[in-house]
Amino acid sequence: MEKNEWFRMKYSTFLVILALLAASCQNSSETTPSPSTPEIPFSVDGTLDFLRMGEPILSLNIEIADTDSLRERGMMQRTSFPPESGMLFLFDIQEVRQFWMGNTPLSLDLLFISIDSVVVDIAKYAKPYSDEPIVGGQPAQFVLEVPGGFADTRGIVEGDRVRWARN
């Protein structure tokens, strides 16, 4: 191999590595919101009550994610919840659900709720910005996202029931 060919090959390899590094930096900046990213306002679409032995123990205002685009966005790019609130994801069928925290700056608890309104699984303190899947242990038709630590501080456990209504 001639010296010029060797140099061209090394220079080309360097350019490819440089381009990959630049692309990697660009992708990582997309996972954290920039200061100019506007906060998405919380929309109160309804209420949700937690029930134990048929009696309400706690009420929340909820934003309802009932379309593909709303479910995909979820709590991405939001830095807070209003007090006593959560986001309820509605699905057409009951099945094992999987979520992820990419572009979500808040730690969340995810409550997986069956078709008969029973909390069947709770994923606590989901890590912000993580691409690791959060998979419910039981089939669910609904998923409620609340601030991380909500289930522990409010005493919500598997087996509690919910009742929700739109405004």
Residue 160 CA to residue 93 CA, distance in Å, equals 21
- Confidence class for position 77, pLDDT limits 50, 70, 90: confident
- Whether the per-residue pLDDT at 121 is higher than 80: the answer is yes
Q: What is the pLDDT of residue 39?
A: 75
pTM of the model: 0.78
Contact 98, 135 (CB under 8 A): yes
Sequence-distant (6+) residues with CB within 8 A of 102 are 31, 76, 129, 130, 131
Give pLDDT tens digits for 23-55: 444 444 444 444 556 778 899 999 999 999 999
Rounded-to-integer distance, Cα 79 and Cα 32, Å? 11
Residue 21 — very low, low, confident or very high, per pLDDT cuts 50/70/90? very low
d(CA 106, CA 33): 12
Q: Are 111 and 78 in contact (CB under 8 A)?
A: no
Instruction: Provide the pLDDT confidence category of residue 7 given band limits of 50, 70 and 90.
Output: very low
Closest CA to 89 of 45, 37, 39: 45
User: Looking at the predicted structure, is the pLDDT value of residue 87 above 90?
Assistant: yes
154-164: pLDDT as tens digits: 999 999 999 99
